[in-house]
Amino acid sequence: MTKQEVADRIVEIGIVPVVRASSPKQAAQAAAAVCAGGIPIVEITMTVPGAIEVIAQLATTAGSQVLIGAGTVLDAETAQRCIDAGAQFLVSPGFDPDTVKLANRLGKLIMAGALTPTEVIAAWKAGSDFVKIFPCGSVGGANYIKALKAPLPQVPMVPTGGINLNTAADFIRAGSAALGIGGELVFRLRPRIGQRKRDYTGRAKLCRHCS
C-alpha cells in the first residue's frame, strides 16, 4: 500500500490498537485477537521483547490484509529495522527529526508524538503524517484535543492515553483523526474484542457523521 492508502485506511478504521506485552508470544496472541475481532490494523510497540521479530512474523502470516505498525520507535536505526521487518507505519511517543526524515525518504507513514502546541507544530512541519498526542488523558483528554484543533485544524491528531469506550465519542467530536487504544481494547477485553471493535468504530462513524 502507498503511504496515502495507509493514511486513508487508518482514518477509515478510526482506531489503532496498541499492543504492549511482556513476551513475544503474548504480543502475537494479542495481535491475532485484534485481527480475529475484525480490526485490520495493529501497532506492536518496541517495549515488547523481540518486537521486530513479532512484526516480521505478522508480516508473513497476516499478509496484506492487516496494517502492521511499529510503536515506541525512538530513533532512525530502529525505524529502519522495523520497516525492513515489514512495518507499514511508525509511531513514536515523541518527536525525533531523524526518524521522521527516514520515514519520509522511504515513503512510510509516521505518527510522531507531541504534547504542547510547539511540539505539534514542529512534528507537523517536519513531515509527520499524523501527530500522536501523548499522554493525552493526563492533560485534559478530549478537551485538550479540542483546544489544540482550534488553532491547528489542518493537523491530523491521534490521541493516545485516557481513551475508553466512554470517552471515545468525545475525542472524535473534538476533532481526532483516529484513536490510539491499548489495554482497554486489546487485553482486558480480548474475549469480546470483536464486539468492542464494533462499539468503538460505530461511535466514531456516528460522531463523524453528526459533526
- Catalytic residues, which ones? 43, 132
CA distances in angstroms from 15 to 18, 22, 76, 82, 106, listed in the order given: 9, 23, 25, 21, 24
* Secondary structure E strands in the chain: 15-19, 41-45, 67-71, 89-91, 109-114, 130-133, 157-159, 179-181
- Is the distance from CB of 206 to CB of 171 less than 8 angstroms? no
- Please, are residues 76 and 98 in contact by the beta-carbon 8 Å criterion? yes
Distance, in Å, from the CA atom of 106 to the CA atom of 1, rounded to the nearest integer, reads: 13
